């Protein structure tokens, strides 16, 4: 029998704030199709155990976690090369741009932080995001070699950057510096 193990801390059942849903399409366990786990679990331990060959007709079905996309979308407006100059460089207000990729796990954490920042700084800061897979030109222009990267612009100039997944206060500190400058 193919099976999988999912290790969760006992407390996670009671402390789910925003569950990330991992759906396992499994003929073995159809009733456990979606399994919420708590935010402090950034990784999912999924082991597909040995397949027995004499049941081979049962085992065309592998188990892969499919993270639901609706929790990964930020509210930030996507920006393409055509819009870049108008939206970012000609902006009256300071602008935050998050460079991300769909395959990048840590970017999802940054998306969540950006959602909060966008709400908290509404009117003072505009937030945009750039998908580095589809808009590589912009990423190249700013020498973005890895994601996630957050850049801050004011008066058409890049004035700060936060590289990698940082706690929210790092982004807030950078934004405050830009707003005060």
Q: Give the residue numbers annotated as catalytic, written as ranges.
A: 104, 107
CA distances from 26 to 23, 49, 66, 126, 135 (A): 9, 14, 12, 43, 36
Contacts of 136 (CB under 8 A, 6+ apart): none
Residue among 64, 10, 69, 72 at smallest CA distance from 40? 10
Residue among 144, 155, 151 at smallest CA distance from 175? 151
Residue among 49, 164, 18, 29 at smallest CA distance from 100? 164
Write b or e for each residue in 89-107: b if 16 or more Cβ atoms lie within 10 A of its Cβ, otherwise e: eebeebbbbbbbbeebeeb
Q: Would you list the DSSP string of 11-26? A: GGGT--SSPEEEE---
* Residue 70 to residue 16: CA distance in whole angstroms: 17
* Residue 22 to residue 47: CA distance in whole angstroms: 14
């Amino acid at each position: 029998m193919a099976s999988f193990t999912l290790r969760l801390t006992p407390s996670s059942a009671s402390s789910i704030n925003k569950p990330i849903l991992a759906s396992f399409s499994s003929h073995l366990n159809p009733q456990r199709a979606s399994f919420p786990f708590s935010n402090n679990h950034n990784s999912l331990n999924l082991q597909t155990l040995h397949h027995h060959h004499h049941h081979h007709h049962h085992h065309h079905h592998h188990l892969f976690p499919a993270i639901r996309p609706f929790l990964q979308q930020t509210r930030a407006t996507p920006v393409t090369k055509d819009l870049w100059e108008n939206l970012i460089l000609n902006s009256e207000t300071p602008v935050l741009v998050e460079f991300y990729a769909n395959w990048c796990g840590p970017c999802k954490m940054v998306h969540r932080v950006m959602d909060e920042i966008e709400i908290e700084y509404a009117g003072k800061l505009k937030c945009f995001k750039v998908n580095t897979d589809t808009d590589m030109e912009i990423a190249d222009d700013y020498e973005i070699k890895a994601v996630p990267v957050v850049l801050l612009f004011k008066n058409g100039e890049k004035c700060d950057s936060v590289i990698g997944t940082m706690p929210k206060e790092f982004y807030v500190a950078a934004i405050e510096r830009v707003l005060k400058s």
